[in-house]
Chains A and B, each alone.
Chain A
């Protein structure tokens, strides 16, 4: 895929900003993503091990209704469909493991899964992710949004210095 297949980040960002604004106006809340994972993981856990799941006090408030009645879960379902429409426009669909040049598929599975665990844990600790806290919070000038944005980029830069060979 060549780089010109994508839009200018400023243009795509303006579209994203209008989407976020519409969300505030229509639904009274911004965009989110990590909540959908909490709701889905909670429902899956509840189906597999209901007795254990009831002991998890943190999850209980996410188990009150089915994921299909959860606002953020449906919004993220929309993300999958909308992104697929975008992919079709650039004919960018291809089933593969996307990885750094020096990385084997096995290593990629481990970095993807391990990095995902950190994202899931950290997102719960921070009460949201790039969408729910960084984007939404910053746009409404909430202190939380700016704190998260600064901490996220600082963390990323710091650890990139330690893991130079991961992606480049």
Chain B
């Protein structure tokens, strides 16, 4: 029998809570509850967000390649995020604006609230309201929302290559990106992590 396991509803929901616990713990330990750290990347003062994100992607992707080749994990039973090219391009760019203005994204707002940040709670209320706004406007958005449906397409499908080839490219790109970020941060650039006024405006 291979994973993912067939769990009863109760066990699956309990697993969700435990998985979330680790998710929140690592988010907070990486500084992802701090809006100054979260928005630092957009001002090129603190690259914690892309560093943490791409480290996580590399670790999880390596595990998925390995476990699926070893037949431990049956990828055909794992939910693959579908691609809707244009809605995700436009939605992603708008999301970047919301991230910059609020200083959070949905998961990190929850981590921010855990440290007593009331602005994170206000952002959470905003996210709920934005969701309702989307639902109210849905009849007018539905056409665009459903365009460019490419299904559960992955890079190995798209380029007709083995997943290890894609992983190698991701390692090389991430390694290059990490080294550029490290050099940039150590060039005497102000690293804004303190609450309040940064060293240089």
Q: Which residues of A contact B (CB under 8 A)?
A: 1-3, 6-7, 9-10, 12-31, 33-34, 36-38, 40-42, 44-45, 56-59, 69, 71-72, 74-87, 89, 92-99, 101, 108-109, 111-160, 163-164, 166-168
Separation of A72 and B150 alpha carbons in the complex (Å): 24
Please determine whether A78 and B153 come into contact, CB atoms closer than 8 angstroms.
no
- Give 26 CB contacts A-B under 8 Å: A6-B193, A13-B30, A21-B59, A28-B78, A29-B78, A31-B107, A56-B135, A78-B17, A78-B23, A80-B24, A82-B26, A114-B102, A119-B99, A120-B127, A123-B106, A125-B141, A127-B81, A129-B95, A140-B75, A141-B163, A151-B88, A151-B89, A155-B93, A156-B97, A159-B42, A160-B43
Separation of A27 and B29 alpha carbons in the complex (Å): 24
Separation of A13 and B61 alpha carbons in the complex (Å): 13
Please determine whether A12 and B79 come into contact, CB atoms closer than 8 angstroms.
no
State which of B52, B78, B127 has its C-beta within 8 Å of the C-beta of A24: B78
Give the nearest-CB partner of A139 in chain B: B60
Chain B residues, Cβ within 8 Å of A151: 88-93, 95-96
The secondary structure that dominates the B interface is helix
Chain A residues, Cβ within 8 Å of B75: 140
Interface contact tally, CB-CB below 8 A: 542
State which of B50, B113, B115, B198 has its C-beta within 8 Å of the C-beta of A168: B198
Q: How many B residues, CB 8 Å from partner?
A: 138
Please determine whether B96 and A154 come into contact, CB atoms closer than 8 angstroms.
yes
Q: A25-B4, A78-B23, A160-B100 are in contact. Are A113 and B87 (CB under 8 A)?
A: no
Chain B residues, Cβ within 8 Å of A25: 3-5, 67, 72-73
Q: A84-B114, A119-B123, A124-B134 are in contact. Are A153 and B88 (CB under 8 A)?
A: no
Chain A residues, Cβ within 8 Å of B25: 15, 82-83, 85-86
Separation of A125 and B88 alpha carbons in the complex (Å): 7
Please determine whether B124 and A152 come into contact, CB atoms closer than 8 angstroms.
no
Chain B residues, Cβ within 8 Å of A10: 51-52, 55, 178
Chain A residues, Cβ within 8 Å of B30: 6-7, 9, 12-13, 16
Q: Which residues of B contact A (CB under 8 A)?
A: 3-5, 7, 9, 12-13, 15-37, 39-43, 45, 47-61, 63-64, 67, 72-73, 75, 77-85, 87-120, 122-136, 138-139, 141, 145, 150, 152-156, 158, 163, 166, 178, 191-198, 201
Please determine whether B106 and A119 come into contact, CB atoms closer than 8 angstroms.
yes
Please determine whether A126 and B95 come into contact, CB atoms closer than 8 angstroms.
yes
Minimum Cβ distance to chain B for residue A163 (Å): 7
Minimum Cβ distance to chain A for residue B70 (Å): 12
Chain A residues, Cβ within 8 Å of B113: 80
Please determine whether B19 and A26 come into contact, CB atoms closer than 8 angstroms.
yes
Give the nearest-CB partner of B55 in chain A: A13
